[in-house]
Amino acid sequence: MAALFRILVILVVAVLIGGLMYAGVGASDSSAGLGGFEDEEGRPQRPEGGDFRPEHDEGREGGGFGFPGSVIKALVLMSIAGGVYSAMAWAGKKSARKTSMP
Amino acid sequence: MSNTNRTKLFLDIALFAAFLITMDPHFSGLAIHEWLSLAAAATVIAHLLLSWSWIVEMTKRIFGKGLNGARINYILNWLLFIDGVLIMLSGIMISEAALPAMGITLPMNFAWRRLHDMSANLSLIIMGLHIAMHWNWIVTTFKRVFFGGGKQQSGAMAKQEA
């Protein structure tokens, strides 16, 4: 029962955040006149043929486990972010040690 | 080695693998990218449930004195959660495989596509920081689970208790 309540809390928070974002995107689109595909009556539509992705996204639906370039990019970016944090934490500890020395 | 820590480690390894695979739709294909992301979202809920006591404790003490590292960790976790919600929401809004397979078609909007890319790129940085902040726990738990450190420690703990 407690787990169900916790799941509910997580989902409610996610829905609140998602709702705010949805409202934000809707508001920015209506003010900038961006984005949607609309029919003659102004109802939103998907583009004909479903080809909504940018050009470089061709072949996404094909799959087949090609060269995982973005996986490597992701690992490199995460390593850099983690490395920067670790370096900052290490420098912070070092300076704290120096100031605590007599 | 508690069962919770063991479960957390296996769950986190699975989640990390899913995160990497979903980061490259070219590699996995769009259908796997979308279905795996939905499954990963459910796994994130399990990940949060396993850390629930820490979340509740930190939420109560967030404005207390000290706890600088924990406070940064807490804020970073919130950023990761918000970014995750944005990735999922924008992904659902531009879904071309999972939602249509369920008979749901949503209106398309280029803003969601851009948000999906931006939030995914941002998640790499936040995830890198998240992993770095928990690196000691990851290494320690990994060693205990896979190299038997847990048995030694539980033996030592039993001796202490005796």
Sequence ranges of the domains in chain A = 1-31, 69-102
B20-66 pLDDT tens trace? 999 988 888 899 999 999 999 999 999 999 999 999 999 998 887 77
**What residue has token string 């003659």?**
A40
Q: Classify the complex by whether its ipTM is higher than 0.90, answering yes or no.
A: no
Q: What is the dihedral of CA B14, B105, A60, B41, to 10 degrees?
A: -10
- Give counts: helices (H), strands (E), chain A: 2, 2
Instruction: Tell me whether residues B49 and A7 touch, CB distance under 8 A.
Output: yes
Question: Using CB atoms and an 8 Å cut-off, which of residues 53-82 of chain A contact chain B?
Answer: 53-54, 57, 59-71, 73-75, 77-82
A73-86 pLDDT tens trace? 889 999 999 999 88
Cβ-proximal residues to B136 (8 Å cutoff; 6+ apart), any chain? none
Neighbours of B21 (CB within 10 A): 21
More reliable by pLDDT, B113 or A69: B113
What pLDDT does A19 receive?
A: 95
Q: Is B26 on the interface with A (CB under 8 A)?
A: yes
What pLDDT does B155 receive?
A: 47
A16 in Cβ contact with A9 (< 8 Å): no
Cβ-proximal residues to B98 (8 Å cutoff; 6+ apart), any chain? B31, B34, B35, B38
B98 in Cβ contact with B34 (< 8 Å): yes
The two structure tokens encoding residue A40: 């003659």
Instruction: Tell me whether residues B82 and A71 touch, CB distance under 8 A.
Output: no
Neighbours of A79 (CB within 10 A): 14
Nearest one of A75, A73, A10, A82 to B126, comparing CA atoms: A82
